[in-house]
Amino acid sequence: MKIGILKIGQIDSRVLDRVLENLRTIFEDAEFTVLPDEMPIPKDAYDEERKQYRSDIILKSIREQVDKEKSLDRILGIVDADISIPQMNFVFGQAERPGKAGLISLYRLRPEFSRQKANTELFLERASKEAVHELGHTLGLGHCSNPFCVMYFSNSIFDTDRKQGLFCSKCYVKIEAASRPEKEELQPDE
């Protein structure tokens, strides 16, 4: 499985390094590369009224990119802008489930955003967790009821901080099955 990491707009290189390092440990059989070209945030994704970007529109652009880059199985986009979908105030990320495109936003992951003290380590850890979570969705996983599992739904940053960056044993079994190349047909659980 080949997975590309796509910068959407400018992204802190420390984030790329940490996310990459972490993903390589979690998804041992996958090959990760940071795509050399940065993709601008699609202009039509901006919602004037909400002053946020529509994550579904950005996700569509990522999907188009995967369809072009035939050598890649999946792309995870990283954006440093506030993203949302019409039904929610904000989202930390979004992904096709199952599918080939995932997206995370760094915007709300900095402790300063929640009036906490700046903490680079915490910020990088949060970004890593969200990256694993969205890739988990692309492999067909839904949300997990275990609050310590990386697939737990983050309603707020506190959920993100509580959960670990790892799959619980139940989700791990599903990830193992989904990562096996011969198993092409993925069934969303539940």
In the bound complex, what is the minimum distance in angstroms from residue 173's beta carbon to Zn ion?
10
In the bound complex, what is the minimum distance in angstroms from residue 140's beta carbon to Zn ion?
12
- Kindly name the residue from 134, 182, 184, 185 that is annotated as catalytic: 134
Tell me which amino acid residue 125 is: E
Interface residue with Zn ion, options 75, 106, 139, 151 (CB under 5 A): 151
Which structure tokens are listed for 71?
């050598």
Q: Is 168 in the site for Zn ion (CB under 5 A)?
A: yes
Among candidate residues 25, 1, 43, the one with its CA nearest the CA of residue 138: 1
* 134 carries an active-site annotation: yes
Interface residue with Zn ion, options 15, 106, 109, 171 (CB under 5 A): 171
- CA–CA separation, 29 vs 123, rounded Å? 26
Name which of residues 89 to 148 contact Zn ion (CB under 5 A): 144, 146
Sign of the torsion angle spanned by Cα atoms 166, 189, 83, 20: positive
How much helix, strand and coil, in percent to the nearest 5, is found in the chain? 35, 15, 45
In the bound complex, what is the minimum distance in angstroms from residue 150's beta carbon to Zn ion?
7
Binding site for Zn ion (CB under 5 A): 144, 146, 149, 151, 168, 171
